[in-house]
A and B are shown apart, each in its own frame.
Chain A
């Protein structure tokens, strides 16, 4: 039974990663490696908390968080799409900015409690029928509505990317913008839309931490989870379904070191935190060894598209 609690906690810990990972998948699918995930999560976390604290309304909090994340993403988008700036450098700068932004605006809220209206709204709700399934119900269907929404997003984003015309065009822009442009797809519009969507999802991931995961606002609420999300995108091989499993696996590793403290282990507990990154490295190596293209990064990932070069 204790293990079931652990797994339920892993799902909760993985949910913030899941939101950000889904976002970054969309951004990378359209060909933009955005290393600003950490920054966008930070912005979403702090703006979400401030809005929630000020208005006491969960909808307002979540909406503001998504807008904050998207705003960060649009700075990145404007620089890399319209001004053709280097994606890696711009993304890193966005992370620096977001961390500073969150530290500055969150300073006066450190130690404040999440308002009760919001805590109640996001409290775990046991779903009828599904929640009664032994083990599975306890792990997946006795969670916050914020977690349920992420289940919905996984399906919605899968359908968006693989079953709709927009998703097909999005992936085409990421694989070959020259061909996409030639076939009449408005490349820049697709890029802007998907990058903003990525930012909104990262913002939601950050706000999950500040509104649901913790009860008192700490100094640094995201603390590096954005980089784990970047790793997760590769671990999940750019697939939303695998992102869900990966997020819970990484979530489990995140809380494992705390949970394992009760046992005496032959290895240092601190080395556990390296496992997500090690696992990602192995996935990177194996996907590059195997030549199947649908499990690799989009062909134009990291490269900007300049129309006149065509």
Chain B
């Protein structure tokens, strides 16, 4: 009889080999769908790469897609470290964008630097509050945060819908349900296609690396994630730690709302998140909750996203094909984790170990 046992921590090299084989296997399976869609899979996969690296413009588009995903994943990661399943990044993202727009609506004539600072603060606060509500109930009553944060996504989405179709509807848009574009003095400055949010992302990466690996609170969050009893025993204030982690996690996701409104879309809308909040959960999880891997994996996903939008126009392939390819790759990577964490042994070797 074969048994499954847990393995030692896998080496980085083994991880890379297994992940890459998973991606290749996934692409092989996805080829069937590509063939059904009437395209040549090899050409299509090459097309994905060309769409990401083929020109400076395309590369900047890849980076533009990477930045929000990266910051969202880092935000989600902080909560996950505590075993607090924040799947509400979508909602915190939306709320951050609401906070940003609110600043502009209240104080439309501020000079750009002050405007930017205020928008960052507001988006952080809105995102943070959106996660601190479930965090408070988790800390106080043990309320299930997975389901709570999931619900808050849709509450945020309805709020934005109401703003877009009712309260903040642009009267100048000829009845179109849209919120007015932000004025010049509220847009992120950009240099040759790369906007300021890249700089913000770099600062956030460094800050989060320090926060999770070097700071006291980062350590406390990790301990609390391992065992609440241990945390209490060594004198960590559990409620306070949960609230701070939620503040950072939700706040970071909120800031993405500001980056996207002011740097990419130019206005708040119900479509602003594009499902990135959910993708970020997957990225954070696959990165083993480690900052450097989050950076690498966000880039890999950005390649997929940018490649997907490129092949839609270049190959006349519907976006749904790209969605399915993405999901198939994820299925394979999720499944390949098993190879990294467990191994098969026969009964004989097992009894020797015991």
How far is B38's CA from A107's CA once the two chains are assembled, in angstroms?
A: 14
Q: Per-residue CB proximity of A160-197 to B under 8 Å, as 1/0?
A: 00000000000000000000000000000000000000
* Residue pair A92, B4 in contact (C-beta under 8 Å): no
Is A54 in contact with chain B by the CB < 8 A criterion?
no
Please state if A96 and B165 are interface contacts (CB–CB under 8 Å).
no
- Assess whether A308 is in contact with B155, with CB atoms less than 8 Å apart: no
B85 touches A277 (CB 8 A): no
**Please, what's the 1-or-0 string for A282-310, where 1 marks a CB less than 8 Å from any CB in chain B?**
00110011000000010000100011110
**Taking the complex as formed, is A101 at the interface, i.e. its CB lies under 8 A from any CB of chain B?**
yes
Over the window 64-100 of chain A, the binary record of Cβ atoms lying under 8 Å from chain B Cβ atoms (1 yes, 0 no) is: 0000000000010011001111101110111111011
Bound-complex Cα distance A21 to B341 (A): 33
Contacts of A306 in B (CB 8 A): 4, 6
A-contact bits for B131-147, CB 8 A (1 contact / 0 none): 00000010001111011
Whether B150 contacts A227 by the Cβ 8 Å rule is yes
Interface string of B151-163 (1 = CB under 8 A from A): 1101100110110
Tell me what chain B mostly uses at the interface: helix, strand, loop, or mixed: helix
Q: Does A231 contact B (CB under 8 A)?
A: yes
Q: Does B113 contact A (CB under 8 A)?
A: no
Within B76-122, which residues are at the interface with A (CB < 8 Å)?
Answer: 85, 87
Question: How big is chain A's contact interface, by range?
Answer: 35 or more
Given contacts A86-B334, A284-B147, contact A274 B155 (CB under 8 A): yes
Given contacts A273-B161, A285-B137, contact A308 B334 (CB under 8 A): no
Confirm or deny: A211 has a beta carbon within 8 angstroms of a beta carbon on chain B.
no
Interface pair A84/B341, CB less than 8 Å apart: yes
Indicate whether A230 reaches chain B with its CB closer than 8 angstroms.
Answer: yes
- Are A289's CB and B330's CB within 8 A? no
Please give the distance in Å from B58's CB to the nearest CB on chain A.
23
Q: Which residues of A contact B3 (CB under 8 A)?
A: 308
- Give every chain A residue within 8 A of B165 (Cβ-Cβ): 268, 270
8 Å CB interface, B140-193 against A? 141-144, 146-148, 150-152, 154-155, 158-159, 161-162, 165-167
B320 close to chain A: CB less than 8 A: yes
Q: A270-B161, A274-B159, A277-B158 are in contact. List 12 more A-B contacts (CB 8 A).
A: A83-B335, A86-B285, A88-B146, A89-B286, A93-B330, A96-B275, A97-B327, A99-B323, A100-B327, A278-B151, A281-B155, A306-B4
Indicate if A216 sits at the interface (CB-CB under 8 A). no
B324 at the interface (CB under 8 A from A): yes
List the count of A-B residue pairs having beta carbons below 8 Å apart. 151
Minimum CB–CB distance from B341 to chain A (whole Å) comes to: 7
Q: Does B206 have its Cβ within 8 Å of any Cβ on chain A?
A: no
Decide: A274 and B324 in contact? CB cutoff 8 A: no
B281 and A85 form a contact (CB under 8 A): no
Those of B294-325 within 8 Å (CB) of chain A:
318-324
Which chain B positions have C-beta within 8 A of A93?
Answer: 282, 327, 330-331, 334
CA distance A86 to B289 in the complex (A): 13
Q: For residue A307, which residues in chain B have a CB less than 8 angstroms away from its CB?
A: 4
Question: 23 A-B Cβ contacts within 8 A?
Answer: A78-B335, A79-B331, A79-B335, A82-B338, A85-B335, A90-B331, A92-B87, A93-B331, A96-B330, A99-B323, A100-B321, A100-B324, A103-B320, A104-B324, A268-B162, A270-B166, A273-B158, A274-B159, A280-B151, A284-B137, A284-B151, A285-B137, A307-B4
Does chain B have a CB within 8 A of A33? Answer: yes
